[in-house]
Amino acid sequence: MSKVSVLGAGSWGTALAITAARNGHQVTLWGRSDEKLRGIQETRENKYYLPDVLLPDNILATSSLEKTVKEADAILLVVPSTQIRSICRQIRPYLQKGQLIINTAKGIEVETLERLSVVIEEELAGIEHEFCFLSGPSHAEEVGRGMPTAIVASSHNRMAAAHTQDLLMSTVFRIYTNTDLLGVELAAALKNAIALGIGIAIGLGYGDNTMAALITRGLAEVSRMGIAAGADPATFAGLAGVGDLIVTCASKHSRNRKAGVLLGQGHKLDQVLQEVGMVVEGIRATEAAEAMSRKYNVPMPICHEIYQILFQDKPAQEAVGALMGRSKKDEHKESPDFS
């Protein structure tokens, strides 16, 4: 039995806490709201983020960050990507030598274009620890209910990935290891932009043909970018690539898809964020994709048009026309063209 601390008491943090607890570990679930945490502790349910799923007795909900971090063997970072640098600065004084840090946030820091593993290593420099990134097709609503799920534990350190595998893998939560951390992180972040595009198409009233086109051509964009950055092409054909892309684009649970639907229906971005009520990672992922496209000179036309819709007030219907009216291309070759 290990002591596992989960930082972030949202839906995914709660689901992962339940997963670790079911494996027999002593789990601490940390969040910022004393009121919500007291409710979780008393009712054994996270009614706001993961209703109707009971928490095992070996989960303690608390707002004490120092104790949560100091006593842990493994620490899961389950906060939005924009909070990763901040949470690392907060936990740094309490970290102990040799702890396993498992990040689950999917994103790229827009200001620096750094992957989150790089951000974490910068903030925790000088502290001896293991690091792993947990990613793949996994909605909290299903994981919390014990529905069969397969994901990826990625790290440059095979032992850290295997350690994560040992902690969380079960008969309903299968974990594969992958040492291509670069590819897994890029796939995890950029697929959220494509899911926004899927939602926009649904909001416009389009059907299955459009969905299939966006998913396959979106995967081509994400793969091209990843390969240009030095990732293993095989990663994009696996759980962290096409697997995560499918679940994010197709699922009713996807907040990126939901946000896209509202955008396609003509709602403004601030209205969309208010309606969704949770972090929509695809928005910052689209910003990052636009910047990376130019940095690496890799065409990402779908992400570019989503960027235009989000930040340049381009009508969604015009964006569709721009995509469909592009010059003729070979399916497997894409020359740099930002016109």
Residue tagged 């974990």 (tokens): 175
pTM above 0.75, yes or no: yes
Token pair in block for residue 23: 């494996």
Within 10 Å of residue 165's Cβ, how many Cβ atoms? 16
Task: Look at residue 46 and tell me if it is in a domain.
Answer: yes
- Predicted local confidence at residue 334, as pLDDT: 66
With a CB cutoff of 8 Å and minimum separation 6, the contacts of 166 are none
Residue showing tokens 């620096």 = 112
Show Cβ contacts of residue 320 under 8 Å, excluding neighbours closer than 6 positions. 201, 204, 305
Residue 234: other Cβ atoms inside 10 A? 11
* pLDDT (mean) for 188-201: 96
Which helix (DSSP H) or strand (DSSP E) does residue 182 occupy?
helix 181-203
The total number of structural domains in the chain stands at: 2
170 and 187 belong to one structural domain:
no
* Residues with active-site annotation: 191
Residue 337 lies in a domain: no
Residue 213 lies in a domain: yes
The chain-wide mean pLDDT, for the chain, equals 95
332 belongs to a structural domain = no
Domain contains 227: yes
Q: Which residue among 141, 158, 179 closes a domain? A: 179
**In this structure, what CATH number is given to the domain that contains residue 32?**
3.40.50.720
- How many residues are recorded in the chain? 339
Question: Do 218 and 70 sit in the same domain of this protein?
Answer: no
pLDDT of residue 253: 85
pLDDT at 336: 52
Cα gap 223→87, rounded to integer Å = 30
What pLDDT shows up at residue 227?
Answer: 95
**Residue 237 and residue 146 share a domain:** no
Whether residues 173 and 207 share a domain: the answer is no
Domain of 196: which CATH number?
Answer: 1.10.1040.10
The pLDDT score that the predictor gives to residue 335 is: 54
Residue at a domain's end among 179, 198, 222 = 179
Q: Do 252 and 133 lie in a common domain?
A: no
pLDDT at 149: 98
137-166 pLDDT, tens digit each = 999 999 999 999 999 999 999 999 999 999
* 291 lies in the same domain as 165: no
Rounded-to-5 percentages of helix, strand, coil across the chain: 55, 15, 30
Q: Does residue 38 share a domain with residue 78? A: yes
Specify whether the CB–CB gap between 137 and 243 falls below 8 A: yes
- For residue 105, being part of any structural domain is answered with yes
- Tell me how far apart the alpha carbons of residues 199 and 236 are, in angstroms, rounded to a whole number: 21
Domain match, 150 and 175 both:
yes
Flag whether 274 is in a domain.
Answer: yes
Say yes or no: 245 and 295 in one domain: yes
Q: Is the domain of 111 the same as that of 140?
A: yes
- Structural domain boundaries, residue 295: 182-324
Q: Is the pLDDT of residue 339 over 60?
A: no
Q: State the DSSP string of 250-308.
A: H-TT-HHHHHHHHHHTT--HHHHHHHH-S--HHHHHHHHHHHHHHHHT---HHHHHHHH
Query: Do residues 71 and 213 share a domain?
Result: no
Say what the pLDDT of residue 338 is. Answer: 42
Predicted confidence band of residue 1 (pLDDT cuts 50, 70, 90): confident
**Residue where one domain finishes, among candidates 161, 179, 197:** 179
CB 292 within 8 A of CB 219: no
Pairing of strands 149-154, 59-62: unpaired
* CB-based contact 46:16 (threshold 8 Å): no
> Domain for residue 110, yes or no?
yes
Burial 68-103 (b: 16+ CB within 10 A, else e): bbeebbbbbbbbbbeebbebbeebeebbeeebbbbb
Of 45-59, 65-79, 322-336, which range is least confident?
Answer: 322-336
Residues 186 and 169 in one domain: no
